[in-house]
Amino acid sequence: MKTSHAVRLLAFAALVTLTPGCQKFLDKEPLGATTQSNLFNDPVNAVQAVNAVYDVTSWDQGPKFGVGDYVGQTYEWMFGDVMSDDAEKGSTPSDFSALIDLKNWTVNPSNVPVTTLWVHSFTGIARANTVINNIDGGTIDAALKSRLKGEALFLRAYFYFNLVKTFGGMPLFEKAVLPTEVTSVTRSSIAETYAFIEKDLKAAAALLPEKSGYASADLGRATKGAANGYLARAIMYQLGTDNTNKHTWQEVYDLTSTVISSTQYSLLANYAAIHQTIGENSSESLFEVQFATNNDTYGPISVGTTNNVFQNNRKTFGYGFNNPTQNLYNEFEANDPRREVTFIKNNDIVLGVLNPIDLSENATGYLSRKVAILTPPAVQSGPQNIRKLRYADVLLMKAEAAAQTGKSAEAVALVNQVRARARTSTRPPGATTVGTASNYAPANTPTGTLPDLATGLTGQPLLNAIWHERRVELAEESLRLWDLIRTGRYFGVLPSAVAARAMTHSITTGVVNPIPLLPIDLNDAQIWKLPQNPGYN
């Protein structure tokens, strides 16, 4: 679903006046105008309304709530990678100090990535609510109505999941908030927020088609598999953080089994192709944010993303952020082809382009190859989709659930599927000759590389092997921070001073492992009169 520029503009126009805020509407419905009451009487308008919710998933910066105040950049790697042991901020030392604050846990409630994540997430929730609360009254085809409602429910859960992991318990909005209600907004608990997310994902799974149920033009839309996969992920995260809802690993096992038995997904044969154009919406993809490219630059009007320019080499067309660490490099086993697919080293050839690395504008000597692209027409409008949930992740979630429920042999077999695919990967495309961007040279991986895990592996050694596999398989895909937190290892990988600061911002009572939280956006905390997170003024 490479949403076109025109469709995004139409979707934006259809919903911008329907998003909650300080808008007042006449009691009489204006003739010839699109309103909440008639938006879902036309299938084109209904689809555009849902496209407008997807659109927010692609925003990395732009106007607040779709109009007015500008907000700066936010990307999931700023949290999932840079705040972990997998990456350093990168770029020149002084550039984007807000990322240094995230890395060092010296962040304040006005931090740009934090504020933008907050306001964009609630924009998406508001747009999803417009669909959820009005589509049942529409006159469009019942099957389309069910599917679109399922998509909106999935997306509302998606936004809330990003919020609860980062900020804790959230205000739970199921409808538009009137101006008179702003000061009476309350925060729900973490457990209540997760219960809300689970309810939406279960409802979405019941309404959505499988991936094969979509026409090719609609690939990329939420599916039954995406809803079940995210539900498994949300439960897995609760199991290691706040499990007030009393979930079990058996639930994760059952949900991931449902995804696997659907036969809708499989590992893409070549690991090196996953993040290339040919790997978009592939057999391995459960959910990815869709992008195209054009000549627009910054802001939500663009159909492309600035994700690539922020992470690409400053010697090509990028800004050089999110540098993988030596610690991550060393995690890979000898001759693992995934390491070259993940890392750019000094003077590597990447998509046929020589990439020298200048240590005056790089923190580790490495860049992420998974986001490397050729220079797009506008460097702030990259066309590469962002993978959010892959089938390999589902296999490894099931492996962890199997290990936790006494099914060690099955856990080993699942991990070995992932390792077997890695062994047969080629080198990344365009890695051999300057000027040649698309050839996949053989990796010539030696026999014995990435040997199968032993069938008798059990207990903590098996969990360690699964966590290792997650780290290398999903490296630089913004999952490391959350894996460390839910498994109780986060504070142990931080420098002692940083760990101490992070602990002052953590929930430590009534939880499985401490849950470090970032500050709620200062403006909304004050206007909504929300209690701030621990340790922030």
The phi and psi torsions of 167 (rounded to 5 degrees) equal: -120, -10
Cβ-contact 350, 344 below 8 angstroms: yes
Class of residue 268 by CB neighbours under 10 A (exposed 0-12, middle 13-18, buried 19+): buried
pLDDT in tens for each of the 537 residues of the chain? Answer: 655 433 443 344 444 434 433 333 233 444 456 677 789 999 999 999 999 999 999 999 887 766 667 889 999 999 999 999 999 999 999 999 999 999 999 999 999 999 999 999 999 999 999 999 999 999 999 999 999 999 999 999 999 999 999 999 999 999 988 878 877 899 999 999 999 999 999 999 999 999 999 999 999 999 999 999 999 999 999 999 999 999 999 999 999 999 999 999 999 999 999 999 999 999 999 999 999 998 888 777 789 999 999 999 999 999 999 999 999 999 999 999 999 999 999 999 999 999 999 999 999 999 999 999 999 999 999 999 999 999 999 999 999 999 999 999 999 999 999 999 999 999 999 999 999 999 999 999 999 999 999 999 999 999 999 999 999 999 999 999 999 999 999 999 999 999 999 999 999 999 999 999 999 998 889 888 899 999 998
The phi and psi torsions of 309 (rounded to 5 degrees) equal: -65, -35
Task: Identify the three-state secondary structure at position 305.
Answer: strand
Alpha-carbon distance values, 333 to 325, 337, 369, 415, 465 (Å): 15, 9, 18, 15, 12
Cβ-contact 411, 328 below 8 angstroms: no
Of 508, 495, 516, 493, give the one whose Cα is nearest residue 84: 493
Q: Look at the alpha carbons of 322, 327, 330, 332 in this order and tell me if their dihedral is positive or negative.
A: negative
Q: At CA 309, angle to CA 303 and CA 310, rounded to 5?
A: 115
pTM, rounded to two decimals: 0.94
Class of residue 24 by CB neighbours under 10 A (exposed 0-12, middle 13-18, buried 19+): exposed
Task: Identify the three-state secondary structure at position 536.
Answer: coil
CATH assignment, 41-71+108-265+505-536: 1.25.40.390
Query: Residue 161 is encoded by which pair of tokens?
Result: 């999941």
